[in-house]
Amino acid sequence: MALDRWIALVILAVSLSYGYTAFFLMDAGLPPFMRFNPIWPSTFPKVIAVLAAITSLAILLGFEKKPADSDADEIDFSRLWDYNIGQAVFLLVLMAGYALLLRPAGFLLSTLLFLVISAALLGERRFVILVPVAAIAAGGVWYLVQQTLGIYLSPLPTFFN
């Protein structure tokens, strides 16, 4: 089965559980006075759930003819392992790590680490340039966002505060 049909299957499952929530679970919590409304919080979701289930089923069963020419510019999923998949996954992990580290380690340190590690991962070896650039970027963005714009970004690790 091609990837687009697998995805249609997943979306079908999601819309079924979404529809189940809308049809059977949501109205239970509705206060009595709201039952007189012509529209309930679940009305719109019900419509979407039905439409989404039908559309995803249509794709899953392949009712629609495939376009003859696929975009040459896009990446061929069947040859995914020929690409730098490892780098991409590692970068995603790094982003998740950044999300988790941002609060405890502070903005400056986690940004510096993120920029240096991800650039190094992509093959940058001139650390003499890389580290100062990353430091200036982290410091500059922090200065702009916090000092100039007044949006708080905790700069230092929590144990310094």
Partner 1 sequence: MLDGIWVGLSTAFSFSNLLMVIGGCLIGTFIGMLPGLGPMSIIAIMIPVAISIGDPSAALILLAGVYYGAIFGGSTSSILINAPGVASTVATSFDGYPLARQGKAGKALTVAAIASFAGGSIGAILLMIFAPALASVALLFHSAEYFALMVVGLSAIAAFAGSGQVGKALLMTLVGLMMATVGEGALFNQPRFTMGILDLQSGFGFITLAMAMFALPEALFLVLDPSRSNSGGSSGDIKDLRITKAEAKKIAPVIGRQSIQGFLIGVLPGAGATIASFLGYAVERNIAPKEEQAEFGKGSVKGLAAPESANNAACTGSFVPLLTLGIPGSGTTAILLGALIALNVSPGPRLMIDQPEIFWSVIISMYVGNVILLILNLPLIPYIAKVLAVPRNYLIPFILFFTLMGAYIGQNNATELLMLVGFGVCATLLRFANYPLAPLLIGFILGSMLEDNFSRSMQLYDGISFIMERPMTMGLLALAAILVVLPTIRARRVRKQELEAAESD
Q: Least Å distance between CB 66 and partner 1? A: 5
Q: Least Å distance between CB 24 and partner 1? A: 14
Please name which of 106, 105, 101 lies closest in space to residue 146, comparing C-alpha atoms. Answer: 106
Q: Least Å distance between CB 135 and partner 1? A: 13
Q: CA 75 to CA 151: how far, in whole Å? A: 39
**Please, are residues 158 and 106 in contact by the beta-carbon 8 Å criterion?**
yes
E strand or H helix at 55, and its extent?
Answer: helix 43-60
Measured from the CB atom, the residue of 24 and 44 that comes closer to partner 1 is: 44
Angle between helices 107-121 and 85-105 (to 10 degrees): 170
Q: Least Å distance between CB 129 and partner 1? A: 9
Output the CA–CA distances (angstroms, integers) from residue 157 to 28, 100, 112, 114, in the order listed: 46, 13, 13, 15
Q: Least Å distance between CB 126 and partner 1? A: 9
Measured from the CB atom, the residue of 113 and 159 that comes closer to partner 1 is: 113
Q: CA 108 to CA 137: how far, in whole Å? A: 9
Measured from the CB atom, the residue of 125 and 160 that comes closer to partner 1 is: 125
Measured from the CB atom, the residue of 28 and 160 that comes closer to partner 1 is: 28
